[in-house]
Each structure stands twice: as C-alpha cells, then as structure tokens.
Structure 1
C-alpha cells in the first residue's frame, strides 16, 4: 500500500506530487533505469518535447508492465530535464499519464546524455 505524506508543517504540495511516500506491505520493488525518448515507431527521436515526454513515459510504463505493475505502483519518480523551459510541459504530460496518482517526485535540470534527448525519467515502483 502506498500512502502519500504531506506534513502540515510543509508548504502545501500540488495535485501532481507528494512530499513523501510511505510504502507498507510491499513484496516487490522495481527500479526503473533512466528511460529516454528513444525510439519511436520509426526508430527516431521525436522532434518536440511533448512527444519525447510521452514516449519516455511509455517506456517507463513498459518496464512496469513487464513486472505486472502500473502507474499506481510508482513510489518515486526522478525526471531530468534538459532545460527548465520544459517544466510546464512535463507537468502537463505527467498529469496526463499519472492521473490522480501522486508519487514522490524530483525534477533536476541538467545536461542529458544525448543532445537529441530533452529528458530522462527514472522511477521506483512497489507492489
């Protein structure tokens, strides 16, 4: 069971993340390696951030599905963005993908391994 931790002593979070995640009774843990927007059905990196973000999330979800897990099993997500200007697009796609599920979340602005990639997402899921 995953419980969101939002202590009243901290500033209120928003609808897309929680300050912490308590996992109880988990018997399986999946560590999802950093997933990148490689590659679409044509074997290419999509040209826009939103397309790259959706593809990267699909890759994360594919790893979870391999372990018979899904979005609601995500306990922690770390996203690396190539530029802070992508922040809102990332939030929009993340909300689209996760719906009302709010894992613990960290966003880091950094250089990404390939200049073509605009983000990378790693995650921890527990069930």
Structure 2
C-alpha cells in the first residue's frame, strides 16, 4: 500500500458491495480534507426540475462544479452521502455515477428520508474529498 495515496478496498472476508461503492477508503497522513455541503438538483437559474432524474443530473453537475472550484479530481473523493425523498432510479443514477467515477468507487451511504431542506428538493449528495 502506497503511503501517500488514497486507497480503496473491499475486504475479502466480507460480502461484496451491493452497489457502486467501496467498503473502506484509506486517506494518507497529512492529506488536505475537503467537505462539501449537500449538493442539490437546482439548475443554474435557481429552479428545481420536477423529475428526480433531472434533479440527479443537476446534482452531479453541481458536484463537478464544486470539485473544480478546488481543483479536485473524482479520484480525490473519499466518501459520498446520499439522501433522497423518493425512490431513486438506480439505472439512471449509476449512469450519472459512471460519468463521475471509473470503477474506483468511494465509500457511500444512502438514506431515504421524508423531506430535505426545501419541499422541492428530492435528492441531496454530500462529498468528502482528500488531496494527498
């Protein structure tokens, strides 16, 4: 294991992940840590689309934008927390997920909740990143 590199693994003595994530991510000593606020599906004009998939698309756009503001690459992402107020279309979600990541997935947590900060928000995704 390289000491100055973010590493991800799935221990062989436990079940494989049930989705596109990794069970454990190791952050090297002295890495700079970045935590985003939850990114939501608002578009550039401040509007919320009605459909969950459109909000997912906008949310991923907003994630890419906030990462770029700090010159972070998707390989720097160590943890993703997802909250949704309605069922996620996983085929669509993983299509967008695949545009952000290769097969080097970060750790991930998903929760379905009754509501988010505003009634029109259907999904919110928080990103943790580290730059060695």
State the distance in 2 between where 1:62 and 1:53 align: 14
Give 1:114 shift: 1.6
Instruction: Give the superposed CA RMSD.
Output: 1.8
Aligned: 1:34 with 2:31: no
State the distance in 2 between where 1:34 and 1:123 align: 7
Partner of 2:36, secondary structure, is strand
Aligned: 1:96 with 2:99: yes
Q: Give the unaligned 5+ runs of structure 1.
A: none
TM-score (norm 2): 0.84
More helix per residue: 1
TM-score (norm 1): 0.87
Matched residue, 1:8: 12
Give 1:92 shift: 3.4
Give 1:8 shift: 1.2
**Count of residues in correspondence between the two structures:** 125
Runs of at least 4 residues of structure 1 off by over 6 A?
A: none
Give 1:81 shift: 1.0
State the distance in 2 between where 1:78 and 1:107 align: 6
Q: Give the unaligned 5+ runs of structure 2.
A: none
**Which of 50, 55, 75 pairs up with 1:72?**
75
CA contact (8 A) 1:30 1:64 kept: no
